[in-house]
Amino acid sequence: RKEVEQDPGPFNVPEGATVAFNCTYSNSASQSFFWYRQDCRKEPKLLMSVYSSGNEDGRFTAQLNRASQYISLLIRDSKLSDSATYLCVVNDPRYGGNEKLTFGTGTRLTIIP
């Protein structure tokens, strides 16, 4: 089983729609969770950290379900600029101190005008 698993997509969604991505992780001891977005041939950029209580940042909502080891990202009122690859990222708890991150392979999203 992959450490971090995501549906690779692609998701082709009309502008203005709501889209949700899911991600599962294998190590129950993981403590830090993130969503990054990566544009084609660019570096990943932190979209949001994911907290146990769930958190929202504008049109983006992230949720964490520790019991199911599941993370989600919801994008409302999608914009053309949301087209990107969304990476689910989880810390590797085997290493103390500065934590290493494990990246999912990403979910490709294209917003259609």
Partner 1 sequence: GAVVSQHPSWVICKSGTSVKIECRSLDFQATTMFWYRQFPKQSLMLMATSNEGSKATYEQGVEKDKFLINHASLTLSTLTVTSAHPEDSSFYICSASLAPFLAATYEQYFGPGTRLTVT
Which of 86, 1, 68, 69 lies closest to 30 in space, CA to CA? 69
Distance in angstroms (rounded) separating the CA atoms of residues 89 and 106: 9
Please give the C-alpha separations between residue 18 and each of 32, 51, 82, in angstroms, as whole numbers.
Answer: 26, 21, 11
**Among 17-25, 43-51, 59-67, 71-79, which window interacts with partner 1 (CB under 8 A)?**
43-51
| Nearest approach, Cβ of residue 74 and partner 1 (Å) | 20
Using CB under 8 A as the binding rule, whether residue 105 contacts partner 1 is answered as yes
Shortest Å, Cβ 30 to partner 1: 11
What does the binding site for partner 1 look like in residue numbers (CB under 8 A)? 31-32, 34, 41-46, 49, 87, 91, 97-101, 103-106
